[in-house]
Amino acid sequence: MVNYRRNFVPGGTFFFTVTLADRCSKVLVERVDLLRDALRVARQERPFVIDAVVILPDHLHAILTLPSGDSDFSGRWRRIKGHFSSAFIDTSPQLRRRPNGDLALWQRRFWEHTIRDENDFARHVDYIHYNPVKHGLVQRVRDWPYSSFHRFVRAGILPDDWAGDADQSRDGFGERE
């Protein structure tokens, strides 16, 4: 088995990519209500701050900050995935199970990056907000409804026309060319 190395920083801020097992699925946006409920319940159980988030059809990106003295982001993602899966099972057809009996809704792991400083934070927020355009889901960031971008606009942090249109030249927002 692979020995995963995680950077457990108490009170840290982390960027995550969490993905469904079926990369053709659209369940995260089709049942965004269940995902929002799962996030809300998990935050009540084990507090954390959602600094930025985008929910795409088959995966999501988020920046979370944990409380001081707490580094258990894995437990939080386990709860979020579990709450969503339980609610989804109650409203959906039979889901496939893995040989060990686990539901095959989510990929088993997630990708995590420790945010190092303000510039790193800003780059990852930009990446999150631009992701629906990158994936060809919309032409403008403001057109994707499942994003913290709208909270940033309401707070006056970003303008409504941030990043322009997809057909304009882009620098990739963190992607390698």
Which positions are annotated as active-site residues?
146
Q: Are 66 and 10 in contact (CB under 8 A)?
A: yes
How does strand 111-114 pair with strand 59-65? Answer: unpaired
How many other C-beta atoms lie within 10 A of the C-beta of residue 88?
19
Would residue 23 be called left, alpha or beta, if left means φ above 0 and alpha means ψ between -120 and 50 degrees?
alpha
State phi, psi for 37 to the nearest 5 degrees.
-60, -45
Question: Residue 47 is encoded by which pair of tokens?
Answer: 């507090």
Residue 41, judged by CB atoms within 10 A of its CB (0-12, 13-18, 19+), counts as middle
Length of the chain: 177
Q: Are 89 and 38 in contact (CB under 8 A)?
A: no
Q: Are 74 and 67 in contact (CB under 8 A)?
A: no
